[in-house]
């Protein structure tokens, strides 16, 4: 493709307002990608987002956006429970897709999207592209070099806390772009900390260690309701999930997605072996070198991502912008990416199997790889 990719953004909620639109409307990327349309069922929000960021078209639905003739690709930034149906619509329309995490809520949905995309020649990129990080690439190399000796166990995870209720820039104002209700994070389908937050650490863990083979889980709703601006938000999606992964040969990992409270000073992931421990950017407590470490130290852990340059280093959600640019490069220059739908499918299967294990009380064997 010689011209810039015309990108539509499906959903103008928090991630779009704080991240996707600020990054993708900067001058330095307009030669490669331009946002030509947005949509949101709250049309006032779509209109306001389009006006703020200079996007020419605003719609109320994905169907309208896809039929408009104004886009070559889409970033699906709607609540996770809508990703599968909107992904099917985009594939049928021949649009290349970036999925904000997580791609789907079940492995069967992911299977279907991957098969449909292959049949239509559509490219799929899925966040989070954790293995784009030079730090994680170096950790994988170090493990293969034997710096940890025999691996023994690993841990990763995340917690909701009140992060979504307290996102000041998009939750507590009086206009459509600052009064976005976070209720969907606590509802089925697609809510809960696994799909939304634990997905980062598990993408990193499996990217570094390889696919898991089995999972056992415990899961349920611990915080039954949450308060947001005087409104009570009921929780019907599990918000407290603990699981054990089996990577084979008696090497196990502990993974959590919980309502509140995380392990202190934990990088993603934390990996133990007979020769020591890798935790974040440290080996046995001492920093290790990798390409771009100086940028990560100055700008945070997204500073070394390949497209995160200049002003992009100071804008929120730069890792999501990076994932979109992976799709742009693939469409324009035929450069595939490690932020693949197949990797996303494997992580989704782990979540799917963990919930099933919690219901049945039995370990679940995994079938996907990447």
pLDDT at 288 over 90: yes
d(CA 234, CA 220): 14
Q: Report which of 162, 241, 135, 185 is spatially closest to residue 14, judged by C-alpha positions.
A: 185
Helix or strand run (H / E) with residue 169: helix 168-171
Buried b (16+ CB within 10 A) or exposed e, 346-359: bbbbbbbbbbebbe
- Asked whether the predicted pLDDT for residue 1 surpasses 80, the reply is no
Q: Concatenated DSSP letters for 9-78? A: EE--SHHIIIIIHHHHTSGGGTTTEEEEEEE-SSHHHHHHHHHHHT-SEEESSHHHHHHTT--SEEEE-S
pLDDT of residue 354: 98
Region 142-157: mean pLDDT is 98
User: What mean pLDDT comes out for the span 242-257?
Assistant: 98
Q: Are the C-beta atoms of residues 208 and 251 closer than 8 Å to each other?
A: no
Task: Express the helix, strand and coil content of the chain in percent, nearest 5 each.
Answer: 40, 20, 40
Task: Note the pLDDT of residue 129.
Answer: 98
Confidence (pLDDT) at 69: 97
How far apart are the C-alpha atoms of 367 and 370, rounded to whole Å? Answer: 11
Residues 162-213: tens digit of each pLDDT: 999 999 899 999 999 999 999 999 999 999 999 999 999 999 999 999 999 9
Q: Which two tokens stand for residue 158?
A: 């995340």
Q: Which two tokens stand for residue 223?
A: 């915080």
For 211-228, the pLDDT digits (tens) are: 999 999 999 999 999 999
Degrees, nearest 5: CA angle 23-29-35: 65
Tens digits of per-residue pLDDT, 275-286? 999 999 999 999
Burial 27-45 (b: 16+ CB within 10 A, else e): eebeebbbbbbbbbebeeb
pLDDT category at 344 given cuts 50, 70, 90 is: very high
β-strand pairing of 225-228 with 231-234: antiparallel
Looking at the chain, which residues constitute the CATH 3.40.50.720 domain(s)?
Answer: 5-126
**131-295+338-365: CATH topology:** Dihydrodipicolinate Reductase; domain 2 (3.30.360)
pLDDT at 182: 98
Segments of the chain assigned E as strands: 5-10, 33-39, 57-59, 73-76, 96-99, 124-126, 151-159, 214-220, 225-228, 231-234, 240-246, 252-258, 270-273, 276-279, 282-283, 286-287, 364-365
Task: Select from 315, 326, 343, 327 the least CA-distant residue to 200.
Answer: 343
Note the pLDDT of residue 76: 99
Range list for CATH 3.30.360.10 in the chain: 131-295+338-365
pLDDT at 8: 99
Query: How confident is the model at residue 216, as a pLDDT?
Result: 98
* The pLDDT of residue 21 is above 90: yes
If one looks up domain 5-126 in CATH, what number appears? 3.40.50.720
Can you tell me the mean pLDDT for 91-119? 98
Return the percentage of the chain with pLDDT > 90, whole number: 99
pLDDT band at 2; cut points 50, 70, 90: confident
SS3 (DSSP) at 7:
strand
């Amino acid at each position: 493709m010689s011209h810039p990719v015309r990108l539509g953004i499906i959903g103008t909620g928090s991630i779009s307002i704080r991240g996707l639109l600020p990054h993708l409307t900067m001058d330095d990327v307009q030669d490669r990608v331009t946002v030509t349309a947005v949509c949101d069922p709250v049309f006032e929000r779509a209109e306001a987002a389009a006006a703020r960021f200079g996007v020419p078209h605003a719609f109320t639905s994905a169907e309208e956006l896809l039929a408009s003739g104004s886009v070559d690709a889409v970033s699906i930034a709607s609540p996770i429970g809508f990703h599968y149906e909107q992904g099917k619509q985009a594939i049928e329309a021949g649009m290349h897709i970036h999925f904000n995490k997580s791609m789907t809520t079940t492995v069967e949905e992911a299977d279907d999207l991957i098969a449909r995309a292959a049949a239509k020649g559509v490219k799929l990129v899925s966040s989070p592209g954790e293995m784009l990080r030079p730090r994680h690439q170096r950790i994988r190399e170090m493990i293969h070099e034997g710096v940890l000796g025999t691996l023994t166990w690993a841990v990763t995870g995340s917690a909701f806390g009140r992060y979504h209720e307290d996102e000041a820039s998009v939750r507590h104002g009086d206009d459509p772009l600052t009064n976005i209700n976070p209720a969907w994070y606590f509802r089925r389908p697609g809510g809960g900390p696994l799909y939304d937050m634990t997905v980062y650490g598990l993408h990193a863990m499996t990217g570094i260690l390889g696919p898991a083979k089995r999972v056992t889980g415990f899961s349920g709703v611990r915080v039954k309701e949450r308060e947001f601006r005087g409104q009570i938000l009921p929780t019907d999606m599990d918000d407290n999930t603990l699981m054990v992964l089996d990577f084979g040969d008696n090497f196990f990992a502990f993974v959590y997605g919980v309502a509140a409270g995380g392990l202190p000073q934990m990088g993603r992931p934390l990996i133990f072996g007979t020769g020591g421990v890798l935790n974040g950017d440290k080996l046995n407590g001492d920093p290790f070198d990798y390409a771009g470490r100086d940028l990560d130290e100055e700008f945070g852990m997204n500073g070394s991502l390949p497209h995160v340059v200049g002003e992009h280093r100071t804008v929120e959600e730069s890792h999501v912008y990076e994932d979109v640019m992976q799709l742009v490069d693939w469409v324009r220059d035929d450069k595939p990416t490690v932020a693949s739908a197949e990797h996303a499918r494997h992580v989704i299967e782990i979540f799917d199997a963990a919930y099933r294990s919690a219901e049945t009380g039995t370990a679940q064997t995994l079938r996907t790889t990447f």
